[in-house]
Amino acid sequence: MTDKNGFFDLSKSTLSRRTVLKGLAAGAGLAMAPGFVRYSQAQSSAPIKIGFQSHRTGIGAAYGRWYEKTSAAAVKAINDAGGISGRPVELVIEDDGTDPARGAEVVAKFAKQHKTDIVFGTLFSHVVIGSAPAAGENKIPYFVVSEGHHVASTKLNRYVFQPGITDVKSQIQSMAPWIAANAGKKVTQIFPDFAFGYDHRDYLPPALKAQGADVIAQIAIPPTESSFTKYFPQIPAETEVIYHVMVGPAVLTFVKELGEFYGSNRPQLFGFMDSLEATDINSPGLEFLDGSHFWEGSPRYAQADDSAAQKAYRAAVGIDDNGAAVGDPKDVSTASHMFGCWETLYVVKKAMEDAGYKGPEDRAKLVEATEALTEFAEGPEHPQGAKTFNGKIHQCFGIQNISKVEGGKLKVVHKTKIEDGLYEAEGDYTTQAL
Amino acid sequence: MSEVSPAKAYALHLGVIALLFVLSFVLPDYHHGLLARIMVLAVFAMGYNMLFGYVGLLSLGHAMFFAAGLYGAGLSVIHLGWNVPAAFAAGIACGALLALVIGLLALRTTGVAFMIVTMMFAQVFYLIILYFAVWTGGDQGMVVPQPARVLVLGAASFDLTNPTVRYMMALTLFSIVLLVTLAVVRSRYGRVLVAIRENEERTKMLGYDTFSNKLGAVVLSGTICAASGAAYALLFGYVGSSFASVQYSILPLLWVLLGGGATTLGPLLGTLFMYYVIDITSGYTSAYLLIVGVALILLVLFSPKGILGTIRQRWLGWLP
* pLDDT score for B3: 53
Does B297 map to a domain? no
Question: Which residues neighbour B43 within 8 Å (Cβ) at sequence distance 6 or greater?
Answer: B173, B174, B177, B224, B225, B227, B228, B231
Dist CA B40 CA B34 (whole Å): 10
Dist CA B78 CA A416 (whole Å): 37
* pLDDT score for B72: 97
Residues of chain B below pLDDT 70:
1-4
Fold entry, domain A45-166+338-397: Rossmann fold (3.40.50)
Q: Do A7 and B168 touch (CB under 8 A)?
A: yes
Give the end-to-end CA distance of chain B in Å, rounded to a whole number. 7
Q: Which of B124, B143, B151, B248 to mutate to test the interface with A (most CBs of A within 10 A)?
A: B143
Q: Do A4 and B33 touch (CB under 8 A)?
A: no
Is B142 an 8 Å CB contact of chain A?
A: yes
pLDDT tens-digit map of A186-229: 999 999 888 788 889 999 999 999 999 999 999 999 877 889 99
Sign of the Cα torsion A156, A162, A166, A168 reads negative
What is the number of CB-based contacts under 8 A between chain A and chain B?
Answer: 114
Dist CA A158 CA A170 (whole Å): 21
The type of residue at B57 is: L
The band of A43, judged by pLDDT with boundaries at 50, 70 and 90, is low
Mean pLDDT of A319-340: 95
The answer on pLDDT for A351 being more than 90 is: yes
The band of A37, judged by pLDDT with boundaries at 50, 70 and 90, is very low
* pLDDT score for A343: 98
Nearest to A95 among B26, B139, B286 (CB): B286
Structural domain count of chain B: 1
Nearest to A112 among B29, B144, B161 (CB): B29
* pLDDT score for A2: 38
Domain range for B48 is 6-245
Dist CA A256 CA B108 (whole Å): 44
Is B65 an 8 Å CB contact of chain A?
A: no
H or E stretch including A411? Answer: strand A409-415
Mean pLDDT of A330-345: 96
Fold entry, domain A169-296+403-413: Rossmann fold (3.40.50)
Dist CA B273 CA B255 (whole Å): 8
pLDDT tens-digit map of B1-15: 445 578 888 899 999
The band of A42, judged by pLDDT with boundaries at 50, 70 and 90, is very low
Phi first, then psi, for residue A39 (nearest 5°) are: -65, -45
The answer on pLDDT for A405 being more than 60 is: yes
Does B42 map to a domain? yes
The residue extents of the domains of chain A are 2-33, 45-166+338-397, 169-296+403-413
Nearest to B139 among A14, A126, A137 (CB): A126
Nearest to B164 among A3, A112, A155 (CB): A3
Does B310 map to a domain? no
The answer on pLDDT for A40 being more than 50 is: no
* pLDDT score for B19: 97
Does B196 map to a domain? yes
The answer on pLDDT for A249 being more than 90 is: no
Tell me the three state secondary structure of residue B53.
Answer: coil
Dist CA B23 CA A214 (whole Å): 62
* Sheet (strand A241-244) strand order: A214-221, A186-192, A241-244, A268-272, A293-296, A401-406, A409-415
Distance from CA of A252 to the nearest CA of B (A): 23
* pLDDT score for A18: 54
> pLDDT averaged over chain A?
89
Distance from CA of A36 to the nearest CA of B (A): 19
Topology alike, domains A45-166+338-397 and A169-296+403-413: yes
Higher pLDDT, B30 or A285: B30
